[in-house]
């Protein structure tokens, strides 16, 4: 389609003599967080309607998955939500385990929870940076990425890769963790404890950040549920829903943590919920360090490659929200159909609702607090 | 740049003039090579590594490239960070055309070199940036580490330092690119090699079979019973079963639906008599484990009423739509609506078999809509984009949907990719 045509999808009809105009934002734009295109209908500086156009990074992962073996598909999940690739691995592996009837040893469960929580911290630190950066404070970007690199050092030592981890396997994980894993995590947590104080002093009470985010992009509780939002976006609107609590997987039912909730549903609440989640993740990690079993296998001895015919669904709570995997297994070592439900897709669906009547500069803040990852939407 | 390009023509014939030209080259190249301003562009995973490289730890400013420009009109370097899809390719070319010369392209990551992990069975990925743009430097990796990106930048710097105004950079030189799909040629050559190898190995294989008649491949059979590990010490009393029993139990849910809609069955359960069927269904529901989801099957006529029922019924209260997706079987589609109650924590999947429209001629089937089903987007706002995705991928039309357009693919795209019989000239089959 030619880029100069008037984009389709606008629903509001207006008189032809109105002074409205259209702005095309993306697919290459620094604050759309990837290849997302937004068609904006403007009245002066006020947004009348936002229409998102997806598909600029649609890579046909689901079609491709049908010709790959189950295990070959695990690295493909890394490339969906690359900010927390390790959690996506967990999501797909949990679905496989239901079909393989394979158990997971205790140590593997702890490795899974610890790496997932480290991934959550890394993702929320990127959010912290991008939120500050989109408000105009480039310093936040530098700060957020500084601690994130430390998480990636740990991940690299354990999994062998910084970003695309490809680590979990049905029945456990690919390798055992190295000896200095626990001391390293402990040292990182001690460091982050101090760093978080700095961060919060920097942005949480910052007058400019408050002016730009309090009361901006309000998402009501009813809309958040109806549009299928999940994760911090849903919790910032006052809904107490976390998959780790509601439908616990792995050993999350044995860990003591709070589910942070806010009630206004504006940008500042979404920021606050994420910062509180970093603290909760740290709490979980500290408990895991206490309980981490020294002995025992890190994976099941069996290495199955096939699933029993049937349909399997797993859901986990990634840093962005509810990540579901639906696998239809037939005979053979390849899935008949594999489908991913990513959390970012509904979040962009609700963007129009949140931005209508707001200013165009607020759209950037709303996008930052939704924290979408576009390849996970397009797949 | 005009004057500099003319300088060699005037100065070179004059005795000693070539030293002046060399000096101009030196100064211009020194300036260019030390302030390469990249364009802020990124589509996927590589973009995050590109961001990392410009942050505190790696600090791209050491190489003079910290000024990431949001506008192509101010940029010198186009770092192609991330997969290039067929839909994005025209936008990328447009961006490149807007950049002022001299401009350079750095292809970062496996996707922009060859298609990377997205080579086989893929209809939407451009296999290599060289097919759409002239690339100066390739940086391999998936994604490349920031150090690798720096190596790419330094390689580009070396290239710039060798430039001279005697042979100026013309836009025309790069305009006519060969659109050759190099990958396809390589794949063909590879297939031929495999064929030769097979012929050579045939004798040895026959011999092996003769010597080991009982040989079987080492694939293990699938597990039927769940593997047990020692129970993890449970300090807290909340167990999985208790958590999920907060709402309706699976048996209650099935019973309530069965009473309301006669066509409700459990997926995969069949029996000859109605009594035997009812018994088998009850047994199937009872056999479901705590961490599995109840999947009920019902006719398309009951679909809308069933969704309305589970949404508004106070016992069900399914207020949250997880997803809508579909499966393509040879003779029918199956639409799957995943519902959840945030308050009561129970889940329910509705499977609706949709017969394929047989009246459409065989040659038109691939590009036409084969099934229709009522939309639930007026009940769940989330269904609006999900149903568009199913329409885009399977060609199932949702009646009553306000905005039934393709969502991921071009409006001109032919066919529906997730159908099993989908073919596309851009797809390369994965060798078995």
Give yes or no for B118 touching A (CB within 8 A).
yes
Token look-up 């009982």 returns: B214
Output the pLDDT for position B87: 87
Could you please state the CATH topology (level 3) that the domain comprising B240-399 is classified under: Beta Polymerase; domain 2 (3.30.460)
Rounded Cα–Cα distance for residues A358 and A365 (Å): 11
Q: List, in order, residues 6 or more apart from B259 with CB less than 8 Å away.
A: none
Rounded Cα–Cα distance for residues B432 and B421 (Å): 18
Write out pLDDT tens, residues A46-72.
888 888 988 888 988 888 888 888 988
Pairing of strands B332-340, B320-328: antiparallel
Output the pLDDT for position A3: 38
Which of these, A200, A159, A141, lies nearest to A74 by C-alpha position? A159
Comma-separated ranges of CATH 3.40.50.12280 domains in chain B = 2-184
**Alpha helix segments (H runs only) across B35-143:** 45-53, 89-98, 110-114
**Alpha helix segments (H runs only) across B169-249:** 171-175, 182-211, 240-244
CA atoms within 13 A on the CB side of B388: 23
Q: Which residues of chain A are under the pLDDT cut of 70?
A: 1-6, 13-18
Which of B229, B243, B387 should one mutate to test binding to chain A, selecting the residue with the greatest count of A CBs within 10 A? B229
List A residues 73-92 in contact with B (Cβ-Cβ < 8 A): 75-76, 78-79, 82-83
Q: Are A101 and A116 in contact (CB under 8 A)?
A: no
Which of A36, A52, A64, A325 should one mutate to test binding to chain B, selecting the residue with the greatest count of B CBs within 10 A? A64
How many angstroms away from the CA of B271 is the closest CA of chain A?
Answer: 18
Residue in A35, A253, A324 nearest the CB of B238: A253
How many angstroms away from the CA of A133 is the closest CA of chain B?
Answer: 12
Q: Are A362 and A23 in contact (CB under 8 A)?
A: no
Give yes or no for A71 touching B (CB within 8 A).
no
Output the pLDDT for position B180: 46
Residue in A83, A98, A378 nearest the CB of B408: A378
Residues of B in contact with A375 (CB under 8 A): 43-45, 82-83
| B51 pLDDT more than 60 | yes
Token look-up 């909760």 returns: A280
Q: Are B68 and A138 in contact (CB under 8 A)?
A: no
Write out pLDDT tens, residues B84-114.
888 888 888 888 888 887 889 999 989 898 8
Q: What is the CA radius of gyration of chain B?
A: 31
| Size of chain B in residues | 432
Closest chain B residue to the Cα of A328, Cα to Cα: B327
Q: Are A47 and B398 in contact (CB under 8 A)?
A: no
∠ CA(B258), CA(B260), CA(B263), 5° rounding? 55
| B175 pLDDT more than 60 | no
Rounded Cα–Cα distance for residues B108 and A163 (Å): 15
Structure tokens at A15: 């008189």
Which of B38, B39, B41, B44 should one mutate to test binding to chain A, selecting the residue with the greatest count of A CBs within 10 A? B44
Write out pLDDT tens, residues B176-190.
444 445 556 777 888
A236-256 as b/e: b if 16+ CB within 10 A? bbbbebbbbbbbbbbbbbbbe
Residue contact B229–A336, C-beta within 8 A: no
pLDDT > 70 in chain B, percent: 89
Give yes or no for B223 touching A (CB within 8 A).
yes
Q: At what angle do helices A138-159 and A181-203 cross, to 10 degrees?
A: 170
The neighbouring-strand residues paired with A24 are: A39
Provide the mean pLDDT of chain B.
Answer: 82
Write out pLDDT tens, residues B14-32.
888 888 888 888 888 888 8
> What do you get for the CA distance between the two ends of chain B, in Å?
54
Banded model confidence at residue B331, pLDDT cuts 50, 70, 90: confident
Residues of A in contact with B345 (CB under 8 A): 246-247
Rounded Cα–Cα distance for residues A366 and A62 (Å): 29
Q: CATH classification of B2-184, choosing from 3.30.413.10, 3.20.20.30, 3.40.50.12280, 3.40.50.970?
A: 3.40.50.12280
Closest chain A residue to the Cα of B238, Cα to Cα: A253
Q: List, in order, residues 6 or more apart from B260 with CB less than 8 Å away.
A: B306, B309
Closest chain A residue to the Cα of B328, Cα to Cα: A337
Please count the residue pairs, one from chain A and one from chain B, whose beta carbons lie less than 8 angstroms apart. Answer: 250
pLDDT > 90 in chain B, percent: 4
Residue in A59, A62, A256 nearest the CB of B83: A59
Residue in A79, A109, A322 nearest the CB of B322: A322
B34 DSSP 8-state letter: H
Closest chain B residue to the Cα of A104, Cα to Cα: B229
List A residues 182-211 in contact with B (Cβ-Cβ < 8 A): none
Banded model confidence at residue B313, pLDDT cuts 50, 70, 90: confident
Structure tokens at A192: 């982050």
Output the pLDDT for position B183: 59
B144 DSSP 8-state letter: P
Residue contact A163–B48, C-beta within 8 A: yes
How many angstroms away from the CA of B66 is the closest CA of chain A?
Answer: 12
Residues of B in contact with A300 (CB under 8 A): 227, 229
| Size of chain A in residues | 379
Give yes or no for A330 touching B (CB within 8 A).
no
Residue contact B322–A307, C-beta within 8 A: no
How many angstroms away from the CA of B326 is the closest CA of chain A?
Answer: 9
Q: Are A169 and A71 in contact (CB under 8 A)?
A: yes
Task: Read off φ and ψ for residue B192, nearest 5 degrees.
Answer: -65, -40
Which of these, B73, B88, B155, lies nearest to B408 by C-alpha position? B88
Domain chopping of chain A, boundaries = 71-378
Q: Are B320 and B383 in contact (CB under 8 A)?
A: no
Residues of B in contact with A241 (CB under 8 A): 342
Residues of A in contact with B51 (CB under 8 A): 141, 145
Comma-separated ranges of CATH 3.30.460.80 domains in chain B = 240-399
∠ CA(A344), CA(A366), CA(A267), 5° rounding? 105
Rounded Cα–Cα distance for residues B324 and B306 (Å): 15
Provide the mean pLDDT of chain A.
Answer: 86
- Please identify, in words, the CATH class of the domain defined by A71-378: mainly alpha
Sign, CA dihedral B48-A164-A37-B83, equals positive
Residue contact A59–B411, C-beta within 8 A: no
Structure tokens at B16: 């000693």
Residue contact A322–B85, C-beta within 8 A: no
List A residues 126-185 in contact with B (Cβ-Cβ < 8 A): 126, 141-143, 145-146, 148-149, 152, 162-164, 171
Q: Are A271 and A370 in contact (CB under 8 A)?
A: no
Pairing of strands A172-173, A168-169: antiparallel
Q: What is the CA radius of gyration of chain A?
A: 21
Residues of B in contact with A226 (CB under 8 A): 319, 380-382
Structure tokens at B95: 């961006």
Helix, coil or strand: residue A193:
helix
How many angstroms away from the CA of A151 is the closest CA of chain B?
Answer: 13
Rounded Cα–Cα distance for residues B409 and B367 (Å): 14
Q: What is the mean pLDDT of residues B261-267?
A: 78
Write out pLDDT tens, residues B117-165.
888 888 888 888 888 888 888 998 888 989 999 989 888 888 888 777 7
Long-range contacts of B384-392 (CB under 8 A, 24+ apart): B384/A349, B385/A345, B385/A346, B385/A348, B385/A349, B386/A228, B386/A345, B386/B321, B386/B323, B386/B324, B386/B325, B387/B324, B389/B324, B389/B325, B390/B324, B390/B325, B390/B326, B390/B335, B392/B416
């Amino acid at each position: 389609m030619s880029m100069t045509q008037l984009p389709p999808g606008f629903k509001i009809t207006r008189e032809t003599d109105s002074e409205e105009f259209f702005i095309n934002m993306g697919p290459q734009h620094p604050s759309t967080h990837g290849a997302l295109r937004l068609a904006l209908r403007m009245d002066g500086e006020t947004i009348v309607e936002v229409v998102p156009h997806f598909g600029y990074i649609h890579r046909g992962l689901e079609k491709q998955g049908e010709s790959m073996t189950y295990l070959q598909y695990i690295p493909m999940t890394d490339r969906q939500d690359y900010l927390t690739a390790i959690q996506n691995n967990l999501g797909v592996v949990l679905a496989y385990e239901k079909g393989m009837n394979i158990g997971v040893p205790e140590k593997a469960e702890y490795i899974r929870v610890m790496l997932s929580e480290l991934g959550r911290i890394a993702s929320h630190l990127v959010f912290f940076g991008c939120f500050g950066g989109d408000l105009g404070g480039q310093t936040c970007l530098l700060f957020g990425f500084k601690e994130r690199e430390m998480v990636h050092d740990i991940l690299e030592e354990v999994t062998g890769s910084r970003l695309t981890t490809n680590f979990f396997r049905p029945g456990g994980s690919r390798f055992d963790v190295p000896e200095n894993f626990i001391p390293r995590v402990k040292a990182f947590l001690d460091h982050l404890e101090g760093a978080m104080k700095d961060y919060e002093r920097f942005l949480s009470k910052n007058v400019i950040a408050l002016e730009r985010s309090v009361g901006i992009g309000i998402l009501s509780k009813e809309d958040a549920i109806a549009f299928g939002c999940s994760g911090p976006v849903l919790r910032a609107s006052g809904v107490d829903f976390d998959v780790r609590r509601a439908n616990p997987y792995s050993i999350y039912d044995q860990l003591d943590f709070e589910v942070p909730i806010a009630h206004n549903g504006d940008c500042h609440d979404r920021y606050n919920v994420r910062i509180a989640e970093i603290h909760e993740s740290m709490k979980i990690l500290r408990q895991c360090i206490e309980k981490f079993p020294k002995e025992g296998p890190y994976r099941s001895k069996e290495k199955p490659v096939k699933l029993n015919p049937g349909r399997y669904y797993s859901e986990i709570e990634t840093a962005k929200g509810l990540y579901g995997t639906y696998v239809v297994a037939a005979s053979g070592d390849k899935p008949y159909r594999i489908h991913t439900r990513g959390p970012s897709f509904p979040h962009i669906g609700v963007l129009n609702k949140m931005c209508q009547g707001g200013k165009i500069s607020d759209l950037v803040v709303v996008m930052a607090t939704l924290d979408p990852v576009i390849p996970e939407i397009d797949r | 740049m005009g004057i500099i390009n003319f300088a060699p023509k005037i100065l070179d014939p004059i005795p000693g003039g070539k030293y002046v030209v060399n000096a101009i080259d030196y100064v211009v190249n020194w300036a260019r090579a030390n302030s390469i301003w990249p364009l802020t562009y990124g589509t996927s995973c590589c973009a995050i590594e590109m961001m990392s490289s410009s942050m505190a730890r790696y600090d791209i400013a050491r190489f003079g490239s910290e000024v990431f420009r949001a506008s192509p009109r101010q940029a010198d370097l186009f770092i192609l960070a991330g997969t290039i899809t067929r839909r994005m390719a025209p936008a990328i070319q447009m961006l490149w055309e807007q950049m002022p010369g001299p401009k350079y392209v750095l292809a970062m990551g496996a996707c922009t070199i060859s298609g990377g992990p997205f080579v086989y069975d893929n209809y939407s990925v451009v296999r290599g940036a060289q097919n759409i743009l002239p690339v100066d430097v390739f940086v391999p990796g998936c994604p490349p580490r920031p150090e690798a990106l720096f190596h790419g930048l330094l390689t580009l710097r070396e290239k710039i330092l060798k430039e001279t105004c005697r042979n100026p950079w013309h836009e025309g030189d790069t305009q006519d690119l060969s659109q050759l799909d190099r990958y396809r040629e390589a794949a063909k050559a590879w297939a031929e090699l495999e064929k030769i190898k097979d012929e050579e190995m045939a004798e040895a294989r026959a011999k092996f079979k003769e010597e080991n008649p009982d040989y079987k491949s080492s694939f293990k059979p699938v597990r039927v019973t769940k593997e047990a590990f020692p129970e993890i010490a449970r300090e807290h009393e909340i167990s999985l079963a208790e958590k999920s029993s907060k709402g309706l139990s699976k048996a209650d849910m099935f019973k309530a639906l069965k009473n309301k809609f006669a066509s409700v069955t459990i997926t995969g359960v069949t029996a000859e008599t109605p009594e035997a069927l009812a018994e088998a269904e009850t047994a199937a529901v009872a056999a479901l484990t705590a961490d599995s989801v109840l999947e009920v099957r019902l006719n398309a006529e009951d679909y809308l009423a069933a969704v309305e029922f589970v949404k508004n019924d106070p016992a069900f209260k399914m207020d949250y739509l997880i997803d809508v997706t579909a499966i393509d079987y040879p003779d029918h589609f199956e639409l799957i609506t995943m519902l959840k109650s945030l308050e009561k924590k129970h889940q329910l999947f509705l499977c609706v078999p949709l017969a394929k429209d047989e009246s459409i001629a065989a040659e038109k089937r691939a590009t036409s809509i084969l099934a229709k089903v009522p939309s639930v987007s007026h009940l769940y706002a989330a269904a609006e984009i999900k149903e568009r995705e199913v329409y885009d991928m399977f060609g199932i039309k949702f009646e009553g949907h306000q905005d039934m357009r393709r969502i991921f693919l071009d409006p001109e795209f032919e066919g529906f990719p997730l159908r099993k019989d989908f073919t596309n000239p851009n797809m390369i089959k994965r060798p078995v």
